[in-house]
Amino acid sequence: MVQKIIIGILATALIAVCSIWGYTEWQKRQVAAPVAAVVPAPVKPPEPVKAETELAPTVAEVPAAEKADGTHFTYQYVSPRNPELLAMYNMAREIDVLKQLPEIKQLDGWLTLPRPINFIAAECGTTNAFYAKDKGDIVLCYEMLELLVRQGGAMAQASGGGTRDQLEYLMANLRFLMLHETGHALVDMLDLPSTGREEDAVDQLATTLMLSLVSADESQGDIAQKLQLASNFFLMTDDGNHDMATYADEHSVGAQRFFNLQCMIYGNNPGKYLRIVTSGRLPEARALRCEEESKQITRNWMRLIEPNIAPKHRMTREEEAAKIAEIQQKQVENSQAPYMR
């Protein structure tokens, strides 16, 4: 009972912080209009593009406004039956947490899918998040939300941080977790090939999307820091006591998922993220192969996704290069240091 009261207090504090945070972000947007946040970004071309230069040629020239948009997602918060989960329900709804995940917002309407993906927060009776293939639902369980709130509070307390640090841990993990489940949805709906274990593949996709679909409002270092927070979840939930059932599971053990994520972050920019190796978060022997590994994974996933970009959001190579340069310049301006702290 005491633990539930504490969690309720933490949830209330998070709602308060998010209200301040949301107002602060709104003020920033009034001062300067945000730069489009997708790489390649779903932007309206400044002028008609010749069909032969498009990524996917069309039969005839069509104004951007008339080109087909992608499939938009739906979002829902289901009231729990268990009164002990009401604090999580209220927090999720007040924050509107499902719509605060940058990569999900960028994917919403960007891809053409056979049916919408429905993002649902609900009581599950277990600590989990999952993709329900028969309904096209991605479900975030309030029990999982409660675990992340509790873990974030413990980490903030141990490091001398506050509610904002707890919120950062929560949102970083939700970004990765929901992208992981979105990966399952894309593999299913688009019949994407996977030659290895799907759980490992969608971990890679989640990391790829966080590193690739970056916002101009966040530096690459910011994204890497959030991925580090997400990777900490794997260590916190892996006690090292593995039986035969654990090794036989479709998921890799937590420590393996942690190191795979470190490898992808480091391999994305070895010079910038050298501290991942020097701090001991990634063994040198593994680090030697990470740059090529990370590039190959990113390249392969982007090739699979690209044909499904909605016509409205397609760009020419020149437009894509210009937008990438624009975002990278903005990221440099947002960076506080040229390395991971």
On whether residue 24 sits in a domain, the answer given is no
Give the tens place of pLDDT for each residue, 209-244.
998 876 767 777 888 899 999 999 998 887 667 666
Give the tens place of pLDDT for each residue, 280-329.
999 999 999 999 999 999 999 999 999 999 999 888 878 777 776 776 67
Residues 6+ apart with CB under 8 A from 203: 180, 183, 252, 257, 260, 261
Q: Report the SS3 class of residue 76.
A: strand
Residue pair 77/92 in contact by the 8 Å Cβ criterion: yes
Give the separation between CA 250 and CA 268, rounded to whole angstroms.
26
Q: What is the largest CA-CA distance in the chain?
A: 66
Determine the structural domain holding residue 320 and report its residue range. 68-239+252-334
On whether residue 3 sits in a domain, the answer given is no
Instruction: Report pLDDT for 203.
Output: 94
What is the bridge-based pairing of β-strands 137-141 and 74-77? unpaired
On whether residue 31 sits in a domain, the answer given is no
On whether residue 39 sits in a domain, the answer given is no
On whether residue 272 sits in a domain, the answer given is yes
Instruction: Report pLDDT for 239.
Output: 67
Query: Which of 51-60, 90-99, 255-264 shows the lowest per-residue confidence on average (mean pLDDT)?
Result: 51-60
On whether residue 50 sits in a domain, the answer given is no
Residue pair 233/227 in contact by the 8 Å Cβ criterion: no
On whether residue 19 sits in a domain, the answer given is no
Count up the domains in the chain and report the number. Answer: 1
On whether residue 288 sits in a domain, the answer given is yes
Q: Average pLDDT of the chain?
A: 80
Phi, psi values for residue 78, rounded to 5°: -95, 125
